[in-house]
Structure formats: structure tokens, C-alpha cells
Amino acid sequence: MDKNKSVEPQVDVQPIVDVVPYNINYEHALEQNNSNNELIFEYPTVYVIADKQSKKRKDSVPDFTVYVGETSNIGQRTRQHLEGDTKIREDWKKLRDSPNAEMMVVGDQYFNKSLTLDIENRLMMYLLSVDHIRHLNNRRTNPQRKYFMSGQFDKIFAGVWDALRQKKPELFPIKKDIENSAIYKASPFHSLNEKQLDGKQQILNRVAHVLGNAKKVDNKDAAVIFIAGQAGTGKTVLLSNVFNDLVNSKMTGENAVNLLVNHDQQLIVYKQIAHKLGLDKDNEDVVCKPTHFINEHQKPGAKKADVILVDEAHLLWTQGKQSYRGDNQLKDLLKLAKVVIIVFDKYQILTTKEYLDDAAIAELEAKASRTGNTITLKDQERMAANPETIEWLHNFAINQKIGVMPSDSRYELKVGRTPKAVYQKIKALDQNRGNAPASLARMLATFDWPYVEAKRPTEGGLWNVQVGDWQMPWNLQLKVSRKQKKKNDSLAWAERPQTIGEVGSTFTIQGFDLNYAGLIIGPSVTYRDGKIVFNPEASSNKQAKNKRTWHGKKIDVTRELLRNELNVLLTRGVHGLYIYAVDDQLQQALLTAAGSTHILEENDGL
């Protein structure tokens, strides 16, 4: 053992939490509480100020505005907020004057400056996902690197959260429920890995350089920053982090940063994040769809944006459609901003209207690379799986090969003998909510069964995924109460409780993850002569099957898009994936690959 290396003690976490009214009498109230005053007044502390809004109904939980902070001197910091900040900031004045504002101060013997900064950041990340918190203040991100006791951080934070939950359960719900939410997974407060941190600094440096020389690019296309990486490599987390920093940065102008996404479910999530953090306070379009942004910024007199960030840029349209009159959304965006940051994965292009061939993608990458603006993320951040499992899934979808399923104590990969067995497992896992990691489990399928959003197949009927006698309705069809419907508007598809009885498609699940996914691989994916073969005739996905014009010629790229559809669906599960294939030869190949250890039997684990 290295004698110079400090050894962290195993901790016995027993934080104290004092709750006092947030007003000029706070210090007296803290001193009068039956707690360890030394931990509150002599040690670093973390504090949460919560202002309870009036209830909309008698039986409802009230909404809150919340501020999170940390300090080495709670008395001095609170006086600064109450006496100084109220003179220059309206939000602090409202907190001071509210009769419903309370301050929770957390102390613990293990707290040090780096640790409290990390707890502050983690609290921001968790509280951002709490339904009843409408506004969350203190938007700085302060994740720390290595420090004494950093190895015990998760245990210490869990103790802090539990102590706060005992005092205010409406503000501090079960941790696992938060961790399953789409907002949590896209939060800008996640700690970045080394590659993401390097990429972030590279992005911010390039933005500063371009904006500092803005006159030189006024009549040219924007500088392109290209973030590449396959599904689950942390692209969205990096983009969200950079977006939050840029909106709050002094180097960008007023209302000059926009985040665009062409996916309805992700748009909901980003808009919620922006609203809770106040990023949309002066610009309601800070998060919007590309078509809306283009139409608004092509109007006479409209100014160029400083920075546009595009998540899932592989979903940008490369032909005109509906309200979009152009022929390539990315090319239009490059004319409307000084810097365009795009997240791109060619294996997630799903429809002909988004299609780019390899040459066009290479040209885009080259444009970014010429000025050192390409960031490639490779570390798998979504799936808690060994590299061999991730490679097996990649070979299945992209290389169209099925090898022997690898053993993996971290990830459950199994083949069901029937679709019923897969659904039984998924339903049982989802019912086990709150017990990590078994919750947020949903059924998915390739788009091989008809579904028309605007009409029903028969009066009162549903569009179903059907295999023999087994069937389940496609996504976004099951009716709910008016109260639940209103709540659903703020939730991604997989978070809506009734969707345990539906089957999701790429159009609802792309960009999101599940703890466990049950996947029905329909007849468009077959196995012939030792290789995966895609059968366009068996697909109901018209958006993948439509021929389109590319460089003056009609082309058919259906097989390539069906490959990408399979790739997206195979990579949604964080902790496990259960598969059933309709094609007999593919199902047999999967059962053979599963051997005796990767078979999901009826009632397995129930």
C-alpha cells in the first residue's frame, strides 16, 4: 500500500437537518433548534430554501420555488441573501417577503468544501425532476473531481437525501423514482466524465473564439461543432450541460442561444428543464423545433443567433415537408447562427425525410474537423453492461450477425419463448417500482404492425401489435382520466403509468432509456443463411419505406433505415433486454445463441 495515499474511513452518515422560517429571525431559530449547533455554525453546510405557493385545490400538493446553496458560514451567507441580494434581485426579494418560505440547513461531520459543492450540485440534479418544484434557482454547476471522502460521496448524499425526505417528503421523493425520470436523465447537473469534460471545454473555447471574431463570420455559414457517438454515449448530457452554461454565459448575447430538437417527446423534456431553471424567462423559444426557429429567423430583420444547439441532429429534415419550405434544415440553420453545435449518430437516422448518405455525413464531419471541432464520445453511459454485451448488440443490429450471448453479471439479456413471457417479465419489473433497479420497464417493437395516429382501425378499436393470440395496443392510444391526461402532457411516453399496457416504437422511445426493455422484433427482421436480412415488405413504417429523391435520383434506403430502427430499440435498456422474434429462423438463431443461461421462461423470476 502507498503510505502517502490517504485512506478514506467507512462513514456512519447521520446528518442533521434544521428547518426554520426564512426571514430575519432565522439565526435565532437555528440556535433554538434542538440540534448540534457546532455542525450548523462551525462546519460547511448545504441549505435549501423553499417557498410554498398557494394550492390550486384543497386536495392538491402545493407548488414550490426552490433555491439550493452551500456555504462555509450559514449566518453570513443568509444575511447576504436577506439584506444584500434583495436589493438587486427580484427573486430574492420575493423569497424574503414570502410568509411561506422556509430554510432547511443540513450539517454533517464529514462535510468539507468540495463535498458540499458536490452535494449542492447533486441536489440541483435531483430537485430539477420533482413534479411540484416549478422553479429551481442557483443554476451554477459545480461538480468536483477527486477529493478526500469523494469515494464515500454516494453514501453521504443518500443519507442527506433521506434526512431531508423525513422533514419534507413532498420536496424530496423516493430517490429511485427521480432517477427514472426523463428530466433527471437529461439534466445539465450530471457530473461529466473525462471525455465529456474535455469536449465541453473544447466547445466553450471554440464558441468564445467565434463570437469574439463575429464580424468575420457575419456573411458566412456558422462554425460547426460536431458531437458524434453511438446510442448511450452521453451526448445529450453533454449538450444539456453546455446549453445551460451558454444561456447563463456573458459571452453570448440576450436571447441569442437556442436548443432545437425534432422529437416531440424530447421537446417536452427540454422545455420543462428550461422553464424550471428560468432559461426561458426572456425567450419562450429558447427550446423549440427547427422548423419554428427557421421560419422565425428567416423573417426580414431577424438577427442571427449566437449559438444553436441541435440534439438528435440526425432527425433534421433533408427535404421539404408541411410547414417547412426549404430542402435541408441543417443548411438553413448554418445561415441563421454564428455557431451550430450538433449531436449526430448516423445509426439513428430513421426516416427518408432525414436521410443523409455516408458522403454527406463525411462532408459535415470534415467541415467540423478542419477547425478541430469534432468531439467523439465512445464510453457507454446508458447501459450498465460489459463491453462484450454492448458489442453483441452492435453486431446484431449493425453488422447483422448473431454470436453466442456473452455472460454478464451486470446486464440481463434473455430471449423469450413467447411474447407473453416477455410481457409478464416487463410488467412484474415495472410493478416493483422504488426497488432499484427494477422499475420503468416497457414493451417495444419494430414498426411492423399498422398504426395511423389520426384514425382508429374500427370504431372503438385500437391499433395493435399482434403475434398469434397475443396482442397489445401501440403507444399513445389508451385513454386516461382528465386529471391524468393533464399530468401526462409533462411526461415522456414511458413515464406515463398507463403505458405499461402499450408497446412503444422508435417514434416515442428514441432519445430515452428504460431500466428494462421487452422487444418484439417483427417480421421485417429475418435470419437467412447465417445473417440478419431486412424485409421491407413486412414493415409498416411508411416513413422508412418511402422512396425519395437524392442528388436528382429516386433512391430506396429502406433496409438501411430498418437496420437503424433495430439498433435504436436494442439499446434502450439500462439493466436488461428481453427479446422475442416473430421470424421463425431468427427466433431459433436467438434461442441457439442464448444457450441454457439466456432463456426467459414463462413466469421467469415472478
Main-chain dihedrals φ then ψ at residue 346, nearest 5 degrees: -65, -20
Q: Which residue, 382, 412, 476, 480, is CA-closest to 179?
A: 382
Q: How far does CA 36 lie from the centroid of its chain?
A: 39
Average pLDDT over residues 16-39: 84
3-state helix, strand, coil in the chain (%, to 5): 40, 20, 40
Specify the pLDDT at position 605: 54
Contact by Cβ (8 Å): 327, 550: no
pLDDT value, residue 70: 93
Buried b (16+ CB within 10 A) or exposed e, 216-255: ebeeeebbbbbbbbbbbbbbbbbbbbbbbbbbebeebbee
Which residue in the block uniquely carries the three cell numbers 477529493? Answer: 147
What is the per-residue pLDDT for 214? 65
Is pLDDT above 60 for 217? Answer: no
Helix (H, G, I), strand (E, B) or coil at 479: coil
Q: Which residue from 569, 186, 143, 198 is spatially nearest to 377, judged by alpha carbons?
A: 198
For cell 451526448, the residue is 235
The single-letter code of the amino acid at 495 is: E
Residue among 577, 601, 234 nearest 417 (CA) = 601
State residue 177's pLDDT score. Answer: 85
For residue 438, name the pLDDT band (cuts at 50, 70, 90).
very low
Overall average pLDDT of the 5-14 stretch: 67
- Contact indicator for 461, 452 with CB cutoff of 8 Å: no
CB 260 within 8 A of CB 231: no
Q: Is the pLDDT of residue 437 over 70?
A: no
CA atoms within 13 A on the CB side of 350: 22
Would the pLDDT of 592 be above 60?
Answer: yes
**Does the pLDDT of residue 115 top 60, yes or no?**
yes
**What pLDDT does residue 58 have?**
57
> Which residue carries 411526461 as its cell?
491
Residue 552 has pLDDT above 90, yes or no: no
Reported as a single tens digit per residue, the pLDDT across 61-96 is 678 999 999 999 999 999 999 999 899 888 899 999
Which has more pLDDT, 139 or 243? 243
Contact at 8 Å (CB) between 383 and 390?
A: yes
DSSP bridge pairs for 135? 65
pLDDT per position as a tens digit, 293-343 = 999 999 999 999 999 999 999 999 988 877 888 889 999 999 999 999 999
pLDDT, tens digit (0-9, with 9 covering 90-100), for 182-193: 899 899 999 888
What are the φ/ψ torsions at residue 159 (nearest 5 degrees)?
-65, -40
pLDDT digits (tens, 9 = 90+) for 253-309: 888 999 999 988 899 999 999 999 999 988 999 999 999 999 999 999 999 999 999
Helix-then-strand count for the chain, H and E: 22, 23
CATH superfamily for domain 194-376? P-loop containing nucleotide triphosphate hydrolases (3.40.50.300)
Residue entry with cell 395496443:
473
The backbone torsions φ and ψ at residue 79, rounded to the nearest 5 degrees and listed phi first, read -60, -40
Average pLDDT, the chain: 88
Highest-pLDDT range among 358-372, 505-519, 524-538: 524-538
77, 68, 69: which is closest to 128 by C-alpha? 68
Predicted confidence band of residue 402 (pLDDT cuts 50, 70, 90): very high
Degrees to nearest 5, angle at CA 116 with 112 and 119: 145
Looking only at the bridges linking them, the beta strands covering 573-581 and 64-71 are unpaired
Q: How confident is the model at residue 218 (pLDDT cuts 50, 70, 90)?
A: very low
